[in-house]
Amino acid sequence: MPPPTPAIPPPSAAGAVGHRAHASILHLDLDAFFAAVEQRDKPSLRGKPVVVGGTSGRGVVATASYEARAFGVRSAMSTREARARCPHAAYLRGRFDAYREASGVVMGILRSVSPMVEPLSLDEAFVDLAAADDPLLPDLEPATVRTFAEALRARVHEATGGLTASVGIGTSKLVAKIASDLDKPDGLVLVPPGGEQELLRPMAVTVIPGVGPATAERLRRAGVRTVADLESLSVDELVRQVGTAHGRSLHELARAHDLRPVVAEREAKSVSVESTYEHDITDPAVMADVLTRQATGVATRLAAAGLSGRTVTIKVRFSDFTTLNRSATLPAPVDAAGPIARVARTLLGDLVGAAERDVRSGVRLLGVGVSGLADWVQDDLFSVLEAEAAVATGTDPGEDASTDEPTTADVPPGAPAPEPPREWAAGADVEHDEHGRGWVWGAGRGVVTVRFETATTPPGPVRSFRTDDPALRPWVRPAPVADPLDPLEGADVVLPVEEPGEPSGGMA
Nearest to 425 by CA among 503, 507, 508, 337: 503
| SS3 label, residue 176 | helix
Confidence label for 377 from pLDDT (cuts 50, 70 and 90): very low
Q: How many CA atoms lie within 13 A of 334 on its CB side?
A: 30
Q: Name beta bridge partners: 61.
A: 53
Q: What is the chain's length? A: 508
Confidence of residue 140 (pLDDT cuts 50, 70, 90): very high
| Chain center to CA of 367 | 10
Share the mean pLDDT of the chain. Answer: 80
- pLDDT score of 407 more than 60: no
Active site residues: 124
pLDDT at 121: 80
Q: Pick 28 or 411 by higher pLDDT.
A: 28
Query: Rounded CA gap, 124 and 209, in Å?
Result: 16
Confidence of residue 484 (pLDDT cuts 50, 70, 90): very low
d(Cα 152, Cα 76) in Å, to the nearest integer?
30
- Which of these ranges, 157-166, 304-313, 380-389, has the smallest mean pLDDT? 380-389
In tens, the pLDDT along 196-229 reads: 999 999 999 999 987 877 788 889 998 999 999 9
Q: How far apart are CA 338 and CA 221, in angstroms?
A: 46
Biggest alpha carbon–alpha carbon distance for the chain: 77
User: Confidence class of residue 267 from pLDDT cuts 50, 70 and 90?
Assistant: very low
pLDDT (0 to 100) of residue 282: 85
Contact 276, 121 (CB under 8 A): yes
Percentage above 70 pLDDT, the chain = 78
pLDDT at 244 over 90: no
Please determine, for residue 4, whether its predicted confidence score (pLDDT) is greater than 70.
no
Nearest to 296 by CA among 393, 404, 195: 404
Q: 265 with 301: CB under 8 angstroms? A: no
Q: List beta partners, residue 450.
A: 440, 463
**Tens digit of pLDDT for each residue in 39-98?**
999 999 999 999 998 777 667 788 999 999 999 998 878 888 999 999 999 999 888 889
What is the band of 506 on the pLDDT scale with cuts at 50, 70, 90? low
Amino acid sitting at position 292: T
Distance between CA 58 and CA 508 in Å, rounded? Answer: 16
For residue 412, give every residue at least 6 positions away whose Cβ sits within 8 Å of its Cβ, in sequence order, or none.
none
More confident residue, 408 or 337: 337
Region 331-359 average pLDDT: 79
Q: Which of 423, 390, 432 is nearest to 498 (CA)?
A: 423
pLDDT of residue 11: 34
Question: CA-to-CA distance for 460 and 46, rounded, in angstroms?
Answer: 13
**454 pLDDT exceeds 50?**
yes
Mean pLDDT of 9-23: 60
Per-residue pLDDT for 336 more than 60? yes
Cβ neighbours of residue 21 under 8 Å, at least 6 residues apart? 13, 14, 15, 171, 193
- pLDDT at residue 458 is higher than 70: yes
Percent of the chain surpassing pLDDT 90 = 49
Residue 318 near residue 363, CB atoms below 8 Å:
yes
Written as one letter, the residue type at 408 is T
Q: What is the pLDDT of residue 281?
A: 86
